[in-house]
Amino acid sequence: MKFVCEKEKILKGINSVINGVASKTTKPILEGILIQTNDHELKLTSYDLEIGIEYIFEANIEEQGNTVVNAVMFSEIIRKLPNADIRIHLNDHNLLEIECEGSLYKLATMDPEEFPELPRINIDHSIQLEQTTLRNMIRKTIFAVSTEENRPIFTGSLFEAVDGKLNVVAVDGYRMAIKNKEVEASNGFSCVIPGKTLNEVNKIISDSFDTITVGIAKNQALFEMENCKIVTRLLDGEFLKYSNTIPPTWETRIKVNRTYLQNCFERIMLISASSIEKEKKYPVKINIEVGKVTISCSNQTGDAKEEIMVETEGKELEIGFNPRFFLDALKAIDDEEIYVEFGTNRSPCIIKPIEDGDYIYMILPIKMKD
């Protein structure tokens, strides 16, 4: 195997597949990147037995071949080489020689025959989206995916195609984010895709109108673009019947400028995220009066209070929240004007943009100490 490639191209390929490499495994082959040549193209593949990523790009192929090289070592060497053409050659001793200007490195390789094949997926359902659309849907929901392994089904997002819409739903037991978009789908489907996979998809796809195909099989999903594909296992289990948890009405509602409210929460977080007692999480108190909202927090670090003039409807209310959960939603919304809807001080709060009717965020309150 022998080829020449621009550093920028091969580094982009490595960065696209690197997070499909196993980090903790007893099989060294899974810690590698499979390098394969095909006519005038180079294909890089990683697979940790849960998520597999293939990335194809043009290169000057002088001799065909394939090998597996340790991903971390290979990526670090390529990253630190000069911005110039890189010549890579598998020598007679199965060492991968990497040359660039005055640099020469030789890396041990592994047998490509031992590298596991990516699953061959028989697609049952598929939809096509613009990459920028899918990226936006993931961005607006991924932060609400659970990181707790005791309920594995919530470590992924629900992808549900129904009634001409794709719904993406993430929930962690304390909050929920829902984003939907009208799509053309041959028939409906429902599956839960791991959050880790969606994070990788979001890093690889671009803010472009190029299409991406999402294919769903019995226990696998496929994301396929022009030069890249990602395969992943699906999560087993029953997802939350989310539509039943959304309050049908509100008792208190405010209309507020999102940026102004976000800035207030970011300042309040300086006190709430106490540097003295880092193990403790201090809620913020929101007090709603006619035409005004007061946000406050008090702990051993100090006290903070912010007052905002807003449009209010309904009853006055005092309620407490985890400020980070509130801030995550504000950062995900693009509209400048939002509604924040409340029931009682023990029922969920709804945050939603006024213009974008396809996004909703729900957060549970925290009981405040008297």
**pLDDT tens track for 210-245:** 999 999 998 999 999 989 999 999 999 999 999 999
Q: With the CA atoms of 126, 129, 131 and 134 taken in that order, what torsion angle do they form, in degrees rounded to the nearest 10?
A: -80
Average pLDDT estimate for 278-283 = 62
The ranges assigned to domains in the chain are: 2-114, 125-244, 246-363
CATH assignment of 246-363, among 3.30.450.40, 1.10.1780.10, 3.50.50.60, 3.10.150.10:
3.10.150.10
Q: How much is the average pLDDT of 4-16?
A: 96
Q: Which CATH number, 3.40.50.1820, 3.40.50.80, 3.10.150.10, 3.40.50.620, labels domain 125-244?
A: 3.10.150.10
pLDDT band at 25 (very low <50, low <70, confident <90, very high): confident
Three-class DSSP category at 151: coil
Q: What are phi and psi of 318, to 5 degrees?
A: -125, 130
Which SS3 state, helix, strand or coil, does residue 167 take? strand
Give phi and psi for 209, each to the nearest 5: -90, 5
H/E element holding 293?
Answer: strand 292-298
Instruction: At 323, give phi and psi (nearest 5°).
Output: -65, -30
Mean pLDDT of the chain: 93
**Helices 7-17 and 195-204: angle between axes, nearest 10 degrees:** 160
Whether 2-114 and 246-363 share one fold: the answer is yes
Contact 121, 215 (CB under 8 A): yes
51-58 and 66-70 beta bridge pairing: unpaired
DSSP codes of every residue in 2-67: EEEEEHHHHHHHHHHHGGGS-SS-S-GGGGEEEEEEETTEEEEEEE-SSEEEEEEEE-EEEE--EE
Q: Is 331 helix (H, G, I), strand (E, B) or coil?
A: helix
Q: How far is CA 141 from the centre of its chain?
A: 8
Q: What percent of the chain has pLDDT over 90?
A: 85
Cβ burial of 6 (10 Å; 0-12, 13-18, 19+) is: middle
Q: Which CATH class is domain 2-114?
A: alpha beta
If we measure between CA atoms, which residue out of 26, 15, 28 comes closest to residue 110?
28
Give Rg (Cα) of the chain: 25
- Copy the structure tokens of residue 228: 């890249």
Q: How far apart (Å, rounded) are the C-alpha atoms in residues 177 and 199?
A: 16
Residue 279, pLDDT score: 47
Eight-class DSSP state of 366: B
What is the pTM assigned to this prediction?
0.91
Look at residue 100 and tell me whether its pLDDT is greater than 80.
yes
Measured in degrees and rounded to the nearest 5, phi and psi for residue 101 equal: 50, -115
Q: How far is CA 43 from the centre of its chain?
A: 24
| Residues 120-137: tens digit of each pLDDT | 899 999 999 999 999 999
Provide the CA 337 distance to its chain's centre, in angstroms.
25
> Which residues, including other chains, have CB under 8 Å from residue 339's CB and lie 6 or more apart?
253, 254, 255, 350, 351, 352, 353, 354
CA 20 – CA 49 distance, rounded (Å): 9
Residues in CB range of 119: below 8 A, 6 or more apart: 52, 220, 231
Distance CA 353, CA 254 (A): 12
Please give the average per-residue pLDDT across 67-87, as a whole number. 97
pLDDT digits (tens, 9 = 90+) for 194-205: 999 999 999 999
pLDDT at 225: 93
Q: Which amino acid is at 356?
A: D
Report the distance separating Cα 219 and Cα 236, nearest Å: 8
Q: Can you give the pLDDT at residue 186?
A: 62
Token pair 């925290």 is found at: 366
Nearest-CA neighbor of 227 among 370, 69, 38?
A: 38
